[in-house]
Structure 1
Amino acid sequence: MGSTLCQILRVHQRHVKSLAQSLSRLAVEKSKGIDILILENVVDPRKEPYQLVAAPALQSLEEYKGKVVSLIEEYFAAGDVASMATDLSNLESPNYHHHFVKKLISMAMDHHDKEKEMASVLLSALYADVLKPEQLAKGFTNLLESVEDLVLDIPEAVDILAIFLARAVVDDILPPAFLSKTRKLLVDGSQGLVVVQKAEKSYLSAPHHAEIIERKWGGSTHTTVAEVQAKIVTLLKEYVESGDKAEACRCIRELNVPFFHHEVVKKALVLAMEEPAAEGKLWSLLIETAEEGLITSSQMSKGFTRISDSIHDLALDIPQAKDKLESFTSKAVEEGWVSAPFSRAVVSELGAGTVGIQEARAFKANATNIIQEYFLSSDISEVITSLEDLAAPDYHAAFVKRLILLALDRKNREKEMASVLVSELYAEVISIASIARAYTLLLQSAEDTSLDIPDAANQLSLFLARAVVDDILAPLHLDEISEQLVEGSLGREIVRMAQSMLSARHAGERILRC
């Protein structure tokens, strides 16, 4: 399956070469690091027209590393987060950003507490908008794999890196599950494993650990994430009392954390859930910040995504939280902050959540047994009978998700069996809505999946393309699924990869042979 992309690229390369031979003039001009192909006078009208293309010249990893060292040194001197975000984005090498994460932390480890705090603040500020979650996780993984080298130059590297790791969890830029997953990847007895254990036992398990970790590098002159969160809550509560939107917007602007405005959205929605009388004022404030461009659409969408991800925990403290979120997302669709598919996904998730955690766990265990038995027997009729006996159509999306996840970590035989099973279950047993929901859930958690299965992105794109070829999903479904994913996420990139495969010549035959 993994060779499909290379095959498609070779086909396109041959097509481009053939086309180039029919041109009467080809000029190549290089200017400011950009290769520009000027193609004129195409003499064969039967061939697909090619337009002027401008693409950045490929930047080597060594060039990238040299540039980020200079950027980091400049950041430590000036402390300008906004400039750093712009400069890093301008490098146009997002796939190398894990090297930036590793270099930033390793350089900070050899500096004072001020620079260590600055590094943590920068990672939180760049998270999601500039640094994709999978790149951040990969950067930390690379650091953990190289601790033995770090301690040669920095004797206290184990303790410092443990603090950085715990801080990333406290700042919500690494999920707690990252620690358990990474622990399985590290060699027994390695220094990296010691770092993970120290982060868990010495820092994250301690009473009031968040406050302790946030203050660990007390020499910092920068505002911590916890302090920004506290300021956001304060300004929102003051606004509820005064109703002064201009003052509230001024306070948001003075925070000078545009990459963290999603927290303003999340805190405002939580406060509206806690204090129903304040809902009207808080919603009016969000509208004002959106209309004047203070909070961007991506930050607004991210705020709704974050509260949706934590809604089941919120419901434990706020009984009406789920009903409120459903109402908020419906209004957010009207304002254009989130898409209609996102709203439907939230409603579906809330409905599934009311059935009960124990029931969901029981279904997941049964589904795993059914799938494992199917991989051994290839008996599709037995799977159909078992699903009908469970009589739980609300969990069919979870079944399809589990099927594909288990297949991802197996050989091509099981991957093919999974695709065939989904095709057989389609319509008669499992609805199209459940299948589309399953792929959405898979892509939303693609970053976590790729930590355990390095080739997950490529494999998921093939499963997605195969679903279209098998007439289970329509091409339009891919667009709807993409709209439910965070902009710039790995999930959206997987959808794009699938669409690219499907647009190639003889795509159906090639994908079916994977």
Structure 2
Amino acid sequence: MATDCAAWVNANPVEAEDLSDSFISGEEDNGRLIVTNKNINNEINGNWLSSSSNSIHEARLKAKAKRRLRKNSSRDSGRGDSLSDNGDVVRGTSVAPTSPKNKLLDRKSRLGKGRGLPKKGGAGGKGVWGRSGEVYEPVEVDEKDPNYDEDQENCVYETVVPPLEERDFEKTVTPIVQEYFEHGDTNEVAELLAELNLGPMRSEVPSLAVSLALEAKASHRELTSQLLADLYGTVLSHSDMEKSFDKLLCELPDLVLDTPGAPQLVGQFIARAVRDQILAKSYIESYKGKVDCECARAALDRAAVLLKMRSGGLRIDNQWGTGGGQRPVTQLIREMNLLLKEYILSGDSKEAERCLRDLEVPHFHHEFVYEAIVGVLESKGEKTLKMVLQLLKSLSLSSIITVDQMRRGYERVYMDIAEISIDVPRAYLILEQFVNKSFDMGIIGVKLRDVCPCWNQKKIMGDGAGDFVELERC
């Protein structure tokens, strides 16, 4: 038998690995090799000796399948299916093995250690710095680190803003000043200017603000004076203020082209600056005998006169007035009554229109209409009635008083006519006459005329003491 096997091996050489694999499926018991499948013995005893190369190829495939099964069984600890010697799958009674691909996706420990929790407490993963809400402590620098640099400890990192260039100054600062005219918050302007890194252009801020205020309203000029006073010492220095007003005096010939009253207005700004102590009292005296420009001389003379008048009781701190939205209601009513009295005395409707516009209270013009009609009711002649009608007609045509404000003024008189009639018995008759003429002149419409309150007159005879008239409301 041994000689036959040796002869077969010499005739058909087979690799040692294939032969070893073909016999590995057996179990070793006390040094003896026990073959689990009889088909291999039969093949060795007779079939391999007489079979062709196809049988050798099949034997190699079986050996490789058994070797692969042995490796998987070592991972699964004997669980799952096995292959027989013939290559048939033998179903086991245990659970089917898990594929290696699924094991790679399993986040549990493959070594069978641990409690099955995720790695790093759930803070791991690609591109993850740590769990949410975790606060990192400052890292201590190791002086023994090869990359350690002693100069890095004393290094301070700051955001560097380049200085604002002259060509971009006006385009950047002008919107800030114009927005300030709307909200009036000087702190916001100071914060915005501090972020710009003005550099040498810092002295241009007051001159730009004053030049914009020259073309604006009186309330905007008052806001500009307040802005200069608040910026002084924080954003602007004393030298910046002097340089800025020096530039304004030099540019007055050009400013007069757009604002004819620029010399007087600049003089008022200088006087207000001296009053707010952002300019020295000797600033005006330093120009004596050194000014050739007539406009600059007029501005300095105006400032000097205002400062002298201050000792006589003039309040320079309120020379521009206050915007309508910032004035108390009682003050506005007082100024409107004064305006009406001046108009009755002078009869100048253009001046009355200008004064009403300068109050800058278009939302409060109904009070002006109300005071004008009440003044007519309390007057004793036809002159006041005709002059007030002409003034209201002029204000209506120029759209200074809108239709809504005119209507509200008339309606307020309708509501208060009962109380007014206590002091003025003929108030109903005068109001009805005034309303009809207002309708004829086109000041009010039909609806507003029809809702005017009136009284019916009934003549009642007395007991000989005289006749009297009883008024009944419609």
Higher relative contact order (CA 8 A, sep 6+): 1
Task: Give the structure-1-normalised TM-score.
Answer: 0.32
Q: Look at both structures and tell me which one has the larger radius of gyration over its CA atoms.
A: 2
More helix by share: 1
